[in-house]
Structure formats: C-alpha cells, structure tokens
Copies of this chain bind each other. A is one copy, B any other.
Amino acid sequence: MPTYKAPVEDVKFLLNDVFHMERYGNMPGFADASPDVVAAILEEAAKFAEEVVTPLNRVGDLESCTRHPDGSVTTPKGFKEAYRQMIDGGWVGISVPTEYGGQGLPATMTTIVSEFIASANLAFSMYSGLTQGAIAAILHHASPAQKQTYLPKMTTGEWTGTMNLTEPHCGTDLGMLRTKAVPQSDGSYKITGTKIFISAGEHDMTENIIHLVLARIEGAPQGVKGISLFIVPKFFVNADGSVGARNGVMCGSIEHKMGIHGNSTCVMNYDNATGWLLGEANKGLNAMFTMMNEARLAVGLQGLTQSEVAYQNAANYARDRLQGRSISGVKAPDKPADPIIVHPDIRRVLMSIKSCNEAARTLVLWTALRADIQRRSDDEKARQAAEDHMGLLTPVIKGMLSDTGFANTVAAQQVFGGHGYIGEHGMEQFVRDARITMIYEGANGIQALDLVVRKLGRDGGRAITAFFNEVSAFVKANGDEAMKPYVAPLAEALAQLQQATMWFMQNAMKQPDNAGAGSSDYLHLFGLVALAYMWAQMAKTAQDKLKNGANGSEERMKAKLVTGKFFMERVLPESAAHLKRITTGADTMMALPADAF
C-alpha cells in the first residue's frame, strides 16, 4: 500500500524563509495567518490527508463510482465518511470571506491544503476542489441574493459545485455549444442539453449539488458571444435555505476512465431544468473563466501532487529494495545486495523528480501569494501587477506542472521495475490518475496557445516584460561566486526565453502558424526558466540560512543546495532544444497534406 507524508517542513521553509509571508500582514486575512496558526493548520491538514484520505486512494481506484438505474451515484466505500470530516474540519472554506461562513484566510492556505489532500487522493480531492472553483465564480459574478442562497452551504462543503462546459461535439471550441436556455416569465430559464465529462456531476456525499452550466439563450448570437452561465441546483433551494424539490438534471451515465476512478465523471442530462443566470447574459465565458483560471492553477498543482506522492513511494522503495551491487564498490556488505538507491540511474530518477517537485511547489506558492495580492491588496499597482502575473503564469503552471508531473510519476513507477506495473504498490494508479491533468481544464496544447497567442502580447507585453525584469534583477543582484552555479544557468535560460519571445514577435505576425508551431516548446522553456528562478531563490535563502544560523535545518538547507544544483545541471539543459525547435518554425511541420498522415 502506498503511503504519503505531507511536506510540512518544506512549505514552512517557503512561506517563512523564501517568501516571508509575514510581510503581507497588512492584507485582510494575513494577520490571522501568523506562523503559529499556519503551522497548526498544516499539521492538521497533514494528519487528515495522511491518515484519513490516503487509505481511500486505492479503494476508490478499485471500486469506482456506481450509477444506479434511478440516476443516483454511490461513491466508493469510505468516501462519504471522509468527506464528512472535510466538512467538520472546515477545510473547504478556509479562504472564503467570513461573511459567507468561511475563515477568510489567504487563498495560499487553501492551495497548501489542496496539495496535501490531492497527493493523498486525487479523485477524492476533486469533489471539494470543484466546489472551490464554483464558489469563486459565484463570489465574483453572482447577485447578492444568489450569494446568500448558495455560498454558505458551499463554503461549509455541505453542498458541492460543478462546472458544465463540454458537450460531445465541443470541448475546446465552446462556440459550438448547443445546450439551450429558454427564458421564463419569472426570470429563470429552462435549460436543455447534454454535458459530458462532468467531474463530481452526481454523488451521494452531500444533500445538494450546485451545477454551473454554460448554455445559449434562445436567439443569442452564434459562437462564444452568445454563451451564458447558469446556476442549476440539483435540488431547488427553499426560501428558508432548506433543500426542496428535484430539478430536471440527471446523471445519464458514468464514464469509464483511465484513472481518477473515485471521482464520478458524469454525462449530465439537462431536460428543461430550471436555471438562473449567473452574471450577465452572453458573458458566460467571462464568468466561467474566473472559475477556469482557479481550476487551471489547481490542475497544475495536481500534477505536482501525483509526482510528489509517487516520488515518496519510489524513494522508500529504493531505500528498501535490495538488488545488485554498486558499481563503485559494495555498499551494504552485511546484506545479500545493496539497496537500489546506491545505483546512479535510480538516483538520477529520484533527483530529477525531487528537483522538479520542490521547484514546482515554490512556483505554485509564489503564484498563490500573487493571487492573494490580486484579490486583497489595497495597492492598485500591486493588484495590477499580480493580475498580470496570474494571467501569464496560469497556462505555464497548468501545462508545465501537469506534463512534468505525469512524466515524473512514470519515472517513479519505473523505480519499482515489474512491481510498478501491478496494482499492489499503487504506482500505476498514480500514473493513470496524473494523466488527466494534462488534459482537463484545457488540454496542454491549448495552454500553450493561450500563453503565446493571448498572454505574451497583452497590454503591450507588460506581463512578460515584468517577469523578465524581475528575473534579470535577481540575476544581477546575486552575481557572487556562491550563487554562480544557480544564477549563471538561470541567466542563460532566461536569455533563451527572451530570444524565443523575440522570435515570435518577428515571425508570428507574417505567418501565424509559427506561433502555434512553437507554442508547446515555448511553454516548456518558460516553465524551465520559472522553475530555475524558484531554485535560485531557494538557493539564496538556503545559503543565507546556513550563514546566519539555520536552527537545526542545516541538513535540509544543504540538501536544497545540492538539489537545486542538480536541477541546473540536469533538468534545465533541455531549454536549448526548446529554443532550437521554436526557431525552426512551421514550414516543415505544416508541409504534408492531411492524407499523408
């Protein structure tokens, strides 16, 4: 059975030492998040994730969700009870404003707790994860009355939320969607259509489910400009807040998927279901993107979570499994063979994953703090800069961390040899579960296109310029000998990223396919630079701590310096190949006729 240990010390290092969370004390919620409070939350969340949620991971995979003839869905054994503990612990709403029953803590805290729970059990974590996305959409776009109706129960987790975008013939291209909304005299709408791939679409864990549904109001324009977002509760909500009659929405079937079996991925049939407009008519995409951007960051994080738990189990196995002898001489003469962690190729795998995971976690928290600034700062310029940052980094985090996360679960599985391919050790489940992160909330090819075509040039390139300036300033400020192993490779990769950006400016206007042809490589090049920048910051912090007194964390700080160096030497060199591919352009790629494939 796989195990999981939440990286509490690593998170504290990032919040306290690298990002100095105490400096944000003037923003709402941050004053309440003192180091002691944070530490207590981390310990509690770790305990819940490790002891309650982890043991259900394999159960969920083996058992899956079951749809009954009446359309109801049963979640795997133990899910309902564990979810009850989620509610009792108040985990869903820790960052929701107190006026709706939340704790008002920084969104960063939700991000951290989400990491722990998703590492423990990705399928389980999605029920509350989607609720948090739905809460965000309602918070920012709904009417005061709608907020009062839905938010309190969603904040406690007593009701869950869903996102309904995809239809059989349209996923990426939402302009083609057919679900229709017919206005009623009372201001509501009758919604009819079929949605597919709806995570947590139906289940038995809560008394109500609040569906957010994209649909086209009768007579609205074709394409994305005629799409509206609706709130469609599974059960109507009575005036007193209690749950009333059943609405016309039903789970038609559950998809048979490669992984995340513990989550009910549903075909949802809307048959004259009653819905209420959320935000303005025909501006549904706008509201949906609030939710979507939260979800995209969450999915990037999910990539990390599977890589992290797979890594931990691979490291344990590598320390325990005896096989062969070290090529540099016997290391465990008292044993029939050496533990496989002595073999360089096993180390290569473990170091690669470790060096990606720790930087990925840093990147996620760095961006989560920006999300808090965007929402909570009273400094307009800071809010604007944070928004720019979020727009730019969202596709990078989603694409890079899910691609890397998946590749790393595969690498961790490899450490187990044949034992990784069978169900028993749980490694193959991590791979199957991680695979979805590259696909949902916009496949990674779409993230790359969003980055290159929409985000780079926005506002005259203000976001990318700010990013370049920030990294350059760090490089310039840390030119000393000790930081050279970190800063020199970072500077080189940054220059490559700048060159690639310039190349797009010069070549994508006259031939737009050049942008598409290089987009995925650009996203990965950007991701590498971002991760390298995180390592440079961690290395600086570790060096400072080792110089000024590390308070018992000496070994961990030394390990940071080694791991960061490994990243620079072994992971980052990929950047040059990305640049080379980008500057090759689209000509060869697009040369063949479609029937030559």
Interface residues of A (CB under 8 A from B): 166, 169-173, 176, 196-197, 255-259, 265, 315, 318-319, 322-324, 326-328, 336-337, 339, 341, 343-351, 354, 406, 410, 413-414, 417-418, 420-424, 428, 431-432, 435-436, 438-440, 443-445, 448-449, 453, 511-513, 515-517, 519-520, 555, 559, 562-563, 565-566, 569-570, 573-574, 576-577, 580-581, 584, 586, 588-592, 594-597
In the complex, the 8 A-B pairs of residues with the closest C-beta atoms, listed nearest first: A344-B516, A258-B428, A315-B597, A345-B445, A344-B517, A327-B512, A573-B580, A256-B423
Q: List 21 A-B contacts (CB under 8 A).
A: A171-B418, A176-B323, A327-B449, A327-B513, A327-B515, A343-B445, A343-B516, A344-B515, A344-B517, A344-B590, A345-B517, A351-B592, A406-B410, A431-B435, A559-B592, A562-B588, A562-B592, A570-B581, A570-B584, A570-B589, A576-B577
> Across the interface, do B516 and A418 meet the contact criterion of CB distance under 8 Å?
no
* A64 CA to B173 CA, complexed, in Å: 37
Q: Closest B residue to A442 by CB, please name it.
A: B417
Residues of B within 8 A of A596 (CB): 555, 559
Which of B257, B413, B512, B597 is within 8 Å of A422, CB to CB?
A: B257
Partner of A417, one of B255, B315, B341, B439: B439
Q: Which of B173, B327, B512, B595 contacts A328 (CB 8 A)?
A: B512
A330 to chain B, nearest CB (A): 12
Determine the chain B residues whose CB is within 8 A of the CB of A322 once the complex forms.
Answer: 169, 173, 176
Q: Is the CB of A439 within 8 A of B421?
A: yes
Residue of B nearest to A570 (CB): B581
In-complex Cβ contact of A336 among B176, B345, B348 (8 A): B176
Q: Which of A343, A444, A448, A584 has the most CB of B within 10 A?
A: A343
Residues of chain B within 8 A (CB-CB) of A343 are 445, 516
Known: A326-B513, A413-B435, A431-B435. 8 other contacts (CB 8 A): A172-B417, A173-B322, A176-B337, A328-B513, A345-B516, A420-B439, A559-B596, A570-B589
Q: Complex formed: what's the CA distance from A592 to B346 in Å? A: 13
B423 lies within 8 A of A439 (CB): no
Q: Is the CB of B417 within 8 A of A443?
A: yes
Q: Given the complex, which residues of B lie within 8 Å of A438, measured CB to CB?
A: 414
| Chain B residues whose CB sits within 8 angstroms of the CB of A577 once the complex forms | 573-574, 576-577
User: Closest residue to A512 on the B side, CB-wise?
Assistant: B327
User: Which residue of chain B has its CB nearest to the CB of A595?
Assistant: B319
Contact B341 A594 (CB under 8 A): yes
How many identical subunits does the complex contain? Answer: 2
Cα(A327)–Cα(B446), bound, Å = 13
The CA of A418 and the CA of B199, in the complex, are separated in Å by 12
- Chain B residues, CB < 8 A from A565: 588
Kindly state the separation between the CA atoms of A482 and B443 in the bound complex, as whole angstroms: 39
Chain B: minimal CB distance from A301 (Å)? 19
Q: Report yes or no: B319 in contact with A597, Cβ–Cβ below 8 A.
A: yes
Query: Which of chain B's residues has its CB closest to A340's CB?
Result: B172
Q: Decide yes or no: A258 and B432 within 8 Å by CB, A559-B592, A576-B576, A588-B569 being known contacts.
A: yes
Contact B597 A344 (CB under 8 A): no
Q: A414-B438, A588-B566 are in contact. Are A345 and B519 (CB under 8 A)?
A: yes
Answer whether A345 and B421 are a contact pair too, CB < 8 Å, given A323-B173, A573-B580.
no
A344 is contacted by which of B169, B173, B586, B592 (Cβ under 8 Å)? B586
Q: Which residues from B are CB-within-8-Å of A172?
A: 323-324, 417
> What's the nearest-Cβ distance from chain B to residue A315, in Å?
4
Q: In this complex, which of A414, A418, A511 has the most chain B Cβ atoms within 10 angstroms of its Cβ?
A: A418
Given contacts A423-B257, A436-B421, contact A569 B584 (CB under 8 A): yes
- Asked whether B417 lies within 8 Å of A171 as measured between CB atoms, the reply is yes
Residue of A166, A171, A444 with highest tally of chain B CB at under 10 A: A171
Per the bound structure, the CA–CA distance linking A351 and B588 in Å amounts to: 9
A513 lies within 8 A of B258 (CB): no
Q: Max chain B CB contacts within 10 Å: which of A515, A569, A586?
A: A569
Give chain B residues whose Cβ lies under 8 Å from the Cβ of A173: 322-324, 337
Smallest beta-carbon distance A398→chain B, Å = 14
Would B350 and A597 count as touching, CB distance under 8 A? yes
Contact A327 B197, beta carbon cutoff 8 Å: no
Rounded to whole Å, the gap between the CB of A175 and the closest CB of chain B is: 8
Q: A555: nearest residue on chain B (CB-CB)? A: B596
Q: Closest Cβ of chain B: how far from A571's Cβ, in Å?
A: 9
In the bound complex, CA of A406 to CA of B326 (Å)? 29
Residues of B contacting A444 with CB < 8 Å? 414
> A569's closest neighbor in chain B, by CB?
B584
- B323-A597 in contact (CB<8A): no
Chain B residues near A520 (CB-CB < 8 A): 345, 348
Closest to A567 in B: B588
The smallest C-beta distance from A202 to any residue of chain B, in angstroms, reads 17
* Contact (A573, B562) CB under 8 Å given A176-B337, A512-B328: no
* Bound-state Cα–Cα, A347 to B584, Å: 14
- Complex Cα distance, B581 from A576, in Å, reads 13
B594 and A327 within 8 A (CB): no
Contacts of A258 in B (CB 8 A): 421-423, 428, 431-432
Q: Nearest Cβ in chain B — how far from A407, in angstroms?
A: 8
Closest to A562 in B: B591
Complex interface: chain B residues within 8 A of A588 (CB): 351, 562, 565-566, 569-570
